[in-house]
Every structure is written in structure tokens, then in C-alpha cells.
A and B are shown apart, each in its own frame.
Chain A
Amino acid sequence: MKVLACIKRVVDYNVKVRVKADNSGVDLANVKMSINPFCEIAVEEAVRLKEKGVATEIVVVSIGPTTAQEQLRTALALGADRAILVESAEDLTSLAVAKLLKAVVDKEQPQLVILGKQAIDSDNNQTGQMLAALTGFGQGTFASKVEVAGDKVAVTREVDGGAQTVSLSLPAIITTDLRLNEPRYASLPNIMKAKKKPLEVLTPDALGVSTASTNKTLKVEAPAARSAGIKVKSVAELVEKLKNEAKVL
């Protein structure tokens, strides 16, 4: 079974992001970039499926700038067999990404597509669902457990107040939640060996996909600074403020 794992290059989760002075976006100059943590979980799950003998080939795909090759190399070091970069320097919407992924799915014909549930940069939580709609595959989003049996996959989903298990026919789309697994570290020898694994570069044009955007970012702002707390003189005053000012009682 072929598995397609999708990864996004994002600002590393340890970095304190800064908004650009002109409010046009987040400053990415000299900032450490990494695989989106949820996508790392997607790669890890694919690798585990291969280790279990369920998957036979793992193709990792990213859509982004030339530099996203760094993250693809990391995924190859983690255990993917080959990589595809759909190169685009544009700021793509979730829908454009989903359309490009659909084209890659058509080309590669995977049985399972695993994506992160969302990317920690813009937190959209849309791409997996849109890809499911475009391909017509069943979707198991926010997965905390994945079990493949025959031509079906059982996906346990993290939903409000508990867990829900859905059974999907293959091919299917899965988006990962935090509890699905704990990704391994890329071992240093595997990082060196990843250089020799194939990495194909495609363009939206070559895939015949238009990425024209319907969205326009007007302004990016840092969250307002938290204001200092106040001291109350008595419990009575506290209760009064909770009732009338905070309106939580």
C-alpha cells in the first residue's frame, strides 16, 4: 500500500514570532523553520505503518518555496522513501493547496493520504477536509488512532467530550491530532543518507492547477499585550466584580 504524507514548512514552534513593522505579515527573515508538528505526526504514522508491514511505500509531499526541500529531506531522514515538492513562492490558500494535493493524488494513486489537522502558522484546519471533498475519498479527521485492516481503515477521532471511531474504505484521507503518536528524532546517519533519496520538483503549471487566490490578507497584528491585574480589598468586592464587571457569576 502506498501512503502519501503531506508536510508544510512553518516557523518552528520554539520561535517567538514577530509581526512585520508594516503589518503585512510575520517576519520570516533568519527565523528557524521546521516541519509543522502535526505534519510530523503524519510522517511518523506513515513510517509506523511501513514498519508494521502495512505500507510498502511512503511518498512525502510539500507545497511551498524551494527551501521546503529542507523539510522534505527531514521527512526522508525520518523514513519516507521519496519526496515531491510542488514549488510555489506564493502565499497559497487552503483550497489552492488542496487542489494541488488532489493533482498529486491523481498522479500517485495512494491508498492513504495523511495530513496534519492544521498548520501552526495560520491554524486553518481546512486542507484535509477540502482534499477529501475534491477526491471524494472518505475522511477521518483529528485522528488519535489508525488501524488498517484489508481495504478498510478504522480511525479514532478526537471529538468534543470523547472519541469517535469511523471506518473508512480505502483510499481515504486522515488528518492527525496530537495524541496519534510521538514522532521520533531524525537520526544523524539517516539525515546523511536522506541526501541520496529521490526528490522530485513539480510546479502548479505542470500539474495544471491554477492557484489564483480568492483571499486577501489585509493586516496582521500581534495580540494585544495583557494588561496588569488589580487587587481587591475584600471577598465581597471580588464577588461584586466577578458578577458585574467580568460577568462570569
Chain B
Amino acid sequence: MNFEMTAEELAVIDSAEQVAREVIQPLAQHYDETETFCLASIRALGDLGCMGINLPEEYGGLGIGSLAMSRVVEAVAGACASTASAMTAHFLATDSILLGGTEEQKQEWLPRAASGELLAAFALTEPAAGSNPADMRSRAVREEGGWRVRGSKHYITNAKEADFIVLYVKTDPDAGHKGISAFIVPRGTTGISFSSPEKTMGLRGSTIYELSLDCWLPESALLGVEGQGFNTAMAVLDRGRVEVAAMSLGIANAALQASLSWVRERQIGPKPLAAYQGTQWRLADMYAQLESARMLTMKAAARRDSGERFSLDSATAKLVAAECAGFITDAALQLHGGYGYSRDLPLERYVRDARILRIFEGTSEVQKIIISRALLDAAK
């Protein structure tokens, strides 16, 4: 397995880290406190040319490998997890078009999405279909010249801010998951209404919405081939989980770095907190978990580019990295004591932001289902 990156990829990571540190990180607390969409940060990523790092050059993307891409996601998440979530939700939508769209649809939507001109959302989850998307109830029925779409989706990142939504609905309710198709829904389509942003524990600068749909879409809105939606969504999530793993590394590393400076400064009685063995062992555990998660993430990223199946790798990386981010952010808060619990420092935000990583793009339990299924299939 090859973890090497080109000189250009290293320079890309460098530039993204600089913008994350100098532009995005200073805004993170503001968006968290005001619970507003992280617009300036997403704009900064658009100006940087970061909104197409998941796409090949032929569609206006950067054409970098997944290893470099995941390092960029890590840098953004370490600065502001909300921004990373809004960015990766956009990638889920553009990946859907890349994997499932016709050539014409790719040409129409991807270059403008990659340049940051258009923001996208990915709408799969419904109130009664989260871990079990095949049970979705939203439907599209063929009408003359197009489709009538009815139903609802919820917890959709960027939904109201997006210029287009990739929407997954049933076109054949009797065909199970094979009856799911995807559509491209442009902003301003009549018959879509949005809830107010949901009130969430973390990622408060990345707004999520419930949407109700009763709208008409033209034939050309059908993404690629009818009945292929479920396969597309699953392939997109295989890719997306590498990005969630990378986000986990970013938040976890930010918490670890904050802890390393804190324990050297904080005096407990005669000596700094770092001089106590209990602290040292905790730091070592944090680091060991982070590096294990990092290796799994790199492996999944390298596999993602290899053309081989990588569901097992990306599910394993996502499971371990998300769980480790939970452990590390909690340990970091503990090392900070009451200061960690105070909202003056970002430690409590890290804990709240990291909590979602075990839930979206497949809960930890769902990753275990994917992993064990792959293992048992291979053992047949």
C-alpha cells in the first residue's frame, strides 16, 4: 500500500491548512454560538478552490488523490467541524452526480459545484428511514413529461442554503431498494418547503433542515438511470465515510494539541499537570488511538483510489476514527477540568461536534453491520 503524495498534493494540503488556521478557525466559535450557517467559511473554501477536491479534473475538480483530500478535510475539521460538515455534505451530492449521473448532468453541474459557485445538499434520510434507507417513503410518480414528487426528508445538511439538492426517492415502491432513484432538484423549485434549522447538540454552524416535497420535476432531473439510486447512494457513502474518518482525526487532533499545551502550563500544586503520571498515561492513550485511526483512514483513502472494493476499509476507518474522536475529545475536556467545561475554551465544542461522527453517514452500529457482513461473506 502506497501512502506517498505528490509535491503538488503536499502544497495543496499546506495552503488548505493555512486558510483553515487563519480564516476558518477564528470564525468557528461565532458560528457555534449564533447557530448560523458558516457562510464566510464556505465562501473562503470556494475562493480557495476547495469545493471540488473530491472530483477529477475533467469536471472542474482538483484531481488529487484521496489521501491528500482527507488531509484537507482533516485540516478544515480541526479548525471548524461545522464547516467541514457543510463541505463534505456538498461532496456527497457531487459524488452522487459523479457516480450516478449522465455525462450531460456531470458537465452541467459539477464544474460550477467544484468552483464554489454552487453549493449542494444530499437528501437521503427520512423520519422513518435513517439506518434503513431502503424503507424510505418519499415517492416520484411518472407524469407526462416529468415526475411528481411527494414526501419528506429530514436532517438534511445545507438543504436551504443549497443551489441544488440530490434527492433520493422511490420510483417503484414494490421493488425494495431497487426501486430507489435519485433526482437533481434545483433551488427555487416550487413545492418544496423547509423547516427552521433543527436545534442540535453540536455542528451548530452547519444547519440541517426537514423538507416537505410536493413538486414537479422534468424528465431531465432523473439522475442517470431509474432504479439505480440505492446503489449510487451506497457507493457515495463508502467514499463519504473516508471523509467522516478524516473529520474525526481533525477534531481529535485539535483536542490533543490543546491538551498538550494546557498540561504544560496548568500548575497543580508544585508541578505542572504534565508531570503527573496519570496525565502522561492519558496523553499516551489519546495519541495511540489517534494514530491507529489515522492509519486506518489512510488505508481506506488509498483503497478508495485503487479501484478495488473498499466498503470494509471505509466502514472500519469510520467506526474507529469516530469512536476515537469521542474518547479523545472527552479526555481532553477532562484534562482541562472546569476550564474545559466552560464555553470560553473550544474543548466542550469539540466534544459536542465529535458526537455526530458516531451517528451520521451510518451509525457505529451500522458500520459494524457492514464490517461483519463483509467478513462473513469472505469466510463463506
Main SS at interface, chain B: helix
CA distance A70 to B14 in the complex (A): 11
* CB neighbours of A202 from chain B (8 A): none
* CB neighbours of A195 from chain B (8 A): 7-8
A188 x B53 contact (CB < 8 A): yes
CA distance A74 to B12 in the complex (A): 10
Main SS at interface, chain A: helix
Which residue of B has the minimal Cβ distance to A187? B49
Knowing A185-B48, A188-B49, A188-B62, the reply to whether A70 touches B11 (Cβ < 8 A) is yes
CA distance A188 to B47 in the complex (A): 9
Residue B63 CB within 8 A of the other chain: yes
Q: A189-203 toward B: CB 8 Å interface, digit per residue (1/0)?
A: 111101100000000
Residue A9 CB within 8 A of the other chain: no
Stretch at the interface among B15-23, B196-204, B347-355: B15-23
Residue A86 CB within 8 A of the other chain: no
Interface size of B in residues (CB-CB distance below 8 Å): 18
Residue B77 CB within 8 A of the other chain: no
Q: A51-90 toward B: CB 8 Å interface, digit per residue (1/0)?
A: 0000000000000000000100110010000000000000
B11 x A185 contact (CB < 8 A): no
* CB neighbours of A74 from chain B (8 A): 11
CA distance A89 to B49 in the complex (A): 35
Residue B79 CB within 8 A of the other chain: no
Which among B47, B49, B63 has the greatest number of chain A C-beta atoms within 10 A? B49
* CB neighbours of B15 from chain A (8 A): 77, 185-188, 191
A185 x B8 contact (CB < 8 A): no
A189 x B11 contact (CB < 8 A): no
Q: B334-354 toward A: CB 8 Å interface, digit per residue (1/0)?
A: 000000000000000000000
Return B153 CB to nearest CB of chain A, in Å.
31
Return A43 CB to nearest CB of chain B, in Å.
14
Which residue of B has the minimal Cβ distance to A69? B7
What 4 pairs between A and B have smallest CB-CB spacing?
A188-B49, A189-B49, A187-B49, A186-B15
